[in-house]
Structure 1
Amino acid sequence: MTIAIVGAGLGGLALARVLHVHGIEAVVYEREASREARGQGGMLDIHSGQRALREAGLIDEFFAIARGEGQDMRLLEPDGTLLLQEDTPDDAPMLRPEVDRADLRDLLLDALPEGTVRWGHAYESAEDGVLRFAGGGSAGYDLLVGADGANSRVRALLTDARPAHLGQNAVEIGIPDIDRTHPDLAAMVGRGNYWVLGDGKSLAAQRNGDGRVRIGLSFYNTGEDWFATAGIPFDDPAATRARLIDLFAGWDTRFTALIAACDDLVQPRSLTTLPIGLTWPSRPDVTLLGDAAHLMPPVGEGANMALLDGALLALALAAHPGDHAAAIEEYEREMFERTGAAARMSAKMQELLMSPDASRRLLEFFQPG
């Protein structure tokens, strides 16, 4: 059986790796020109996804690159009130360690045979067992797996569902080498996650493994056209920082100091989700995994679900040699149930974050009773 995987994200690579462990080879087609073609984002909280790394035979290597101290949490209100500080003991179990997405992706890429990933192959269409690429070229397949993310093009082979706006818009900024350049801010943020919520906004600062602090500024209950009306001049980084500071007027000056210290890398994000509980009639020749199948609010489940999708699809294919229709049905049945529950939980957390008293409700979530 020829297995074609579209997308070299975490889910597609986990699928290819676990298949390889079981003696089944696949080809991953990725539109990016190389693994270094673009940045991979920040840190990930890997918890349930650890099972996928065990199935991939990479759990020890994962723990070697994961940061247990990334589990630290600080939660504050806009006026600077500290609501929660959790510092992880050095001997604490690695239940939810943070790992740099790029490092985790490299771990999976390096564990695949040379040539498994075909870079520079952008999916254009698929029909009758033939995969066609933008700019020419084609490849045959018996099973096509869409692991091509939130804006999946493979998804259209199975469902008309499309992502809808979540009511949240975000701006990603960051401070490089923070321990050297801004040691006072580094001490304030700490080793892990730093959250400030209130006034329909949030500031989330996250320590990355390379010394950069990645900062996400979120604006809740905002529409798809919010960036067009918010007056943020994204073509001028200095003016962008000034406008973002204006949008956080009234917040403690320590928080706006984080914005002022950021470099010129600015990325706006308009957040979307797929319908909760999305399913489709099973087909023996195509399926989906990760965000292509179940795009959720960004509250810590997406990467874990994608890793599990890839590993469990591979295990189903290995358990049903020669009967990929049965394997796909088994995989999708479990995936729909598991990710539907995760999506419902993520939606509840998103509702909490968008509430007027988000900081207090989040404190109750972390410290029930």
Structure 2
Amino acid sequence: MQADTPGYLATRYDHDRAGPVPAQLTDGKHPVLRVTEGFLRRTGNVGRCIASPAAFGLSAAAIGDGPARVTLRLSLDRHTPTYWDRYVHEDVPRSGAERPRLVVVCAQREVRGALLLAPRPVGQGRAIGELGVTLAPDELPAGGLALFELWGAHEWRSASGAAVAAASALAPQATTGMVVNTISVGSAAAPPVAWSAGDTLDARTSERLGLVSTGGLNAQMLTEQGSTFLSAGMLVVNPCAGASARLTFGFVRGTPPVLRGAKGGPRWRRHMDRARRKARVIAQRGLEAAASPGPHVLDWLQVQAVGLGDGAVTTLPVSHRPEGGFTVVVPAQAQPILLTISQQEAPKSATHVKLIDHTPI
């Protein structure tokens, strides 16, 4: 650090003007990233959080007269538990590092969305989540500085409802050790994927768009369509442009193993990987058919919605699907919602819940 005017400390990241936009931040030395708190700048990615909450300020000029769109990509990698163990106080039980992490994202002191990321076993890749935040022109001051905060569920000031519903299943100090891979700053006029009310989006596409968060996707899932399994029986539903959301769920008996295909290598190995994936799909369909209960699912299934802005807890009605599974309609909200799905009287054989699709209505 270097001394500037008396009583003020400046760094090499300080500038007199807003950074150029649109911008794609892939390392911590980008001029758009101005200030940080509880955050280590890195090369190869923007940085890593070492505290909960963590914060950073982006200095970006307004894009014309329209709103700006900031997209964050966060992830948990194989080094996350090591950083969590290093920076979290020793009074916190060490087992908390293996629990799913609920992160509330705030911009300009307002809650904008949330992500649920679940640590993955060794060899199954990272848990990756994306969330887009739209900033209106009047939310950016003349200097263009936008403050972003990443809060863990246990530290979030409005997490009383979440604590009652699922505190035992969520990791404390959730952002500690988390990686900020990229930050994109651009115009909100052209969303990455166009969708409108009534469009049915598969679970993985919905998670890539930040509409839901079920525990994160690995690198292979980022390019695929399909369903996702819920982490600890919960998921996040983010605000959907003022629309309600109809979620379709299914059941699976047991959790099929995750088989990662080889990227390259001999042709015979690629053919073997493809055959294994097809066999996994066929086996999974059989498990789903065997695990799908009938209409009595309404008798033992309970779905609760926890508002991550105000902490309010409400119970949502569940509708049975004739083809198996159930649907839940989440009313339009201006705040992210944590859905917890509990089985009051579980069937004889253990079943897991998966998200099939998301439909804005």
TM-score of the two chains, using structure 1 as the length reference:
0.23
Which structure's residues are more often strand, by fraction?
Answer: 2
The higher relative CO (CA closer than 8 Å, separation ≥ 6) is in 1
Which structure's residues are more often helix, by fraction?
Answer: 1
TM-score of the two chains, using structure 2 as the length reference:
0.23
